Amino acid sequence: MLKNACKRRECVNDTSSSPLWIPENGAKSILGNVLDNTHTRHMTTDISVELAFDRIDGTQPKRAIAFLHGILGRGNNLRTIARRFVEARPGWTAWLVDLRGHGRSPKGTPAPSLESAARDVVDFAGRLAPPLGAIVGHSFGGKVALEAARIGAISLLEHVIVIDSVPGVRDPLRGEDSALAVMDAIESLPRTLASRSDFIEALVAAGKTRPLAQWLAGSVEREGDHVRFMLDLNEVRALILDYFARDLWPVVEHPPGAARMHLVIGDHSGSYSPADRERAARIAASSERVTVDVLAAGHWVHVDNPDGLLRKLLDHIGG
């Protein structure tokens, strides 16, 4: 899932010249037709955890599109594609959501699961304006998007775009660059280090690539005279194992409500097996509400082929 991760700086932080993630609290800038509000927002409910998010507003927003990141990531990872979408579709607002256990959202949440993560998003969407009309999810976030659609409580949901995330069950990936192996490597490090740079160097010494280590350093925060990796890896491990275990092909085969399902597959990615690709193609051939697009990219489609991904988003989602 993290193989060949973050080969370009955008994957670490697509709005900063620094290789490390730098929060942009309170910053505002005009980008074409977009007002980019990067201050942190939160929403609390009785049934879900508090989610942090940034928003990018079009000039006349009437609907919202939520962007959901992959495991060990944060909403900011999808900022460039979200901003470009809103520039082309000024009637939309983009929400860059930090899923539970990630980014600025709460860590160590009770009973972490794919469903709980999706219910956070559903509840979050029900209390914000404008109404949520589309969800774009990459990898883990793609399956969260499918689960949110399955729950069926987002009444105006029209589009679910699943970026290189197979809907079905698969054995957990445990190779050298898998999320589980990366978590094992992080757990092998000292609990605290003197600086982000020390964290990066320690992770590189543990066998991980420097771009991946730099990307993960976005979840390193300072506490007094030291820094530490802030994610609860037991929580994140539970989320990713549930991701592998859930079968959401029925959501694609029978889209809930008025929603349309759009599967985007990286042609160089191993996320979909040949059988999975055949199944996706069969479903799309038999349903006007399902599309499958195979783009020239690896798993990180928004990094490898941002122009192609943007074209597909604009093809499927109107103004």
Q: What is the pLDDT of residue 32?
A: 31
- The kind and range of the H/E element at 204 are helix 196-205
Q: Note the pLDDT of residue 1.
A: 52
Residues 6+ apart with CB under 8 A from 304: 7, 266, 268, 296, 297, 298
Q: What element of type H or E holds 219?
A: none
Q: Quick check: 57 and 88 in contact, CB under 8 A?
A: no
Give residue-wise pLDDT tens across range 129-156: 999 999 999 999 999 999 999 999 999 9
pTM for this structure?
0.86
Q: 241 pLDDT exceeds 70?
A: yes
**Mean pLDDT within 211-215:** 95
Return the minimum-mean-pLDDT range out of 8-12, 71-75, 143-147, 268-272. 8-12
Q: Is 116 exposed, middle or buried (0-12, 13-18, 19+ CB in 10 A)?
A: buried
Would you call 266 helix, strand, or coil by DSSP?
A: strand
Q: Which domains does the chain have, with CATH numbers?
A: 22-170+246-316 (3.40.50.1820)
Closest CA to 70 of 13, 129, 1: 1
159-202: pLDDT as tens digits: 999 999 999 999 988 877 799 999 999 999 999 999 999 999 99
The model's pLDDT over 10-64, given as tens digits with 9 standing for 90+, comes to 443 333 222 222 222 222 222 233 334 433 343 433 457 989 999 999 999 999 9
Q: Tell me, what's the pLDDT at 14?
A: 33
